[in-house]
Amino acid sequence: MSSRERGSGMGSRALLKVTARRRYRASPEVLFRAFSRAEDLIRWFSPSEEIQTEVVDLDFRPGGRYRFAFHFPDGGRNLVTGRYEEISPRRLVFTWTWEEPDPHAGIDTRVTVEFIELGEGTEVLVTHERFPDRETRDRHDEGWSGALTRLLKLLET
């Protein structure tokens, strides 16, 4: 469940964003933990089961940094890094930057994750913004959709 949107512009050029959302039969606290602990992230935080996640570094605190490696079936490996700007039980905000040799390396984007309590469950709303072009936006749209689906499957087991 994601949508592609044109965000408000910086200067004269509008930047693009992705909004992905999914409802879970779990508390906001359970979902927050899934985003905050390495042992949980390696189980779901990738676009598909074929891509394995390695948590290289995780300093989960405001101002702390993270670095994740995504391992592909063909032996390839891409790294993403960022800094946590805001951490609260209902909201995470962090930067997101791919490293070389990823084709989108060096593009600084921002992710906001909201945990919205809904009666017997929680909606996770991910807004990933500041994409300079459609190709980059579309790649992340697919990635977040896949990751949130994987998180759903993990919570069902």
Q: Which two tokens stand for residue 77?
A: 């490996």
Q: What is the pTM of this model?
A: 0.90
Query: What CATH number corresponds to the domain at position 113?
Result: 3.30.530.20
Asked if residues 130 and 1 have their Cβ atoms less than 8 Å apart, the reply is no
pLDDT in tens, 112-146: 999 999 988 999 999 999 999 999 999 999 999 99
Hey, what are 135's tokens?
A: 């190709």
Distance, in Å, from the CA atom of 49 to the CA atom of 26, rounded to the nearest integer, reads 22
Give the structural domain span for 75: 2-156
What is the rounded distance in angstroms from the CA atom of residue 86 to the CA atom of residue 157? 30
Give, for 131, the enclosing helix (H) or strand (E): strand 121-131
Residue found by looking up tokens 């996770």 in the block: 124
Mean pLDDT, residues 71-79 taken together: 96
For tokens 């408000």, name the residue: 8
pLDDT level of residue 15 (50, 70, 90 thresholds): confident
**What pLDDT shows up at residue 14?**
61
pLDDT of residue 90: 97
